[in-house]
Structure 1
Amino acid sequence: MIRLLDFILALVGLIVTLPVLIVICVLGVFDTGSPLFRQQRVGKNKKPFTLIKFRTMKVDTASVASHLASSASITPLGGFLRKSKLDELPQLWNVLKGEMSLVGPRPGLFNQKELTTAREQKNVFAVRPGITGLAQVNEIDMSTPELLAKTDKEMIDSITIGNYFKYIFMTVAGKGTGDRVNKP
């Protein structure tokens, strides 16, 4: 049931936001020269997939978790995209392809060993990663791997259709701040 909802909502989301996606792509060309950001992430059953987002940091920024990157790397457009969460829109393509869900644990990087271990212990990789979830709406990010894995497990164990829509609506309404970044 969730996969069907994911597919329908992602398809509708991509169609409805197409003009916004195009405008952000054009602005992104002027901002960084490369509006889309692709990165290998840990998916369901620890299978790698390529996550796609709008680029919010300079092209030469190191491939690390956001909380380890410097805020000086965030571009002017990127700051707006992060604050408005519009940088996440291209992930609807990942949802459409079945690599992600709208609601699930945020996909980590393969170099985040502590997070991967904590999630393995809690069987978090048994589900598709998501764009948003319980941790995101409660401002818990990858800088606290044990707490994040615990919260992911709590969400997985208590997910209902009601919670699914609740997390989506809370995210769209602006709840949560996204991943932190280091101050320069």
Structure 2
Amino acid sequence: MAKVLIVVLALVAYGSAQQRQIGQAGLNLLKQSEGFVPNFYNDQIGLKTIGYGHACQWQGCDGINPPITEAQGTQILEKDLVQFEDCVNQAAPGLNQNQYDACVDFAFNMGCGAFQSSDILSNIKAGNMEGAADAFAKYNVAGGQVIEGLTVRRQNEKNLFLS
């Protein structure tokens, strides 16, 4: 009987442990950085996109009938974020909420692979949080060009990471 109780308690504890999700500060940063567009458009690298940076090539756009509302855009964004939240949860456990949110924003923008191979994550794993914060600035280039919007976004991520 005691063994059964221990197993049941372990399963309950395991089942109730939830993966961290992006907080309001991170969601606000992401929405501000991406901007909201109710209709399909081509992003800076030519991908068909809608809402808050929902790239059809990666997440699909079946069933999306523009124009969409901001509420619909938020729902789509929250579904899209799960894979990036999982990426950061697995790669960098133990971050505080603001550090986590900044990393999820970065991963959403650059991709999970880019986050996993970034100097940001290398510094986090080394316990160098100042180095991790400074490393955000390195990722402001697209198509070989420094992009002002990425420079601003990386600074905002750094600021959130350090707050």
User: Same fold judged by TM-score > 0.5?
Assistant: no
Q: State the TM-score, normalizing by the size of structure 2.
A: 0.33
Structure with bigger RCO (C-alpha 8 Å, 6+ apart): 1
Structure with a larger share of its residues in helix: 2
Q: State the TM-score, normalizing by the size of structure 1.
A: 0.30
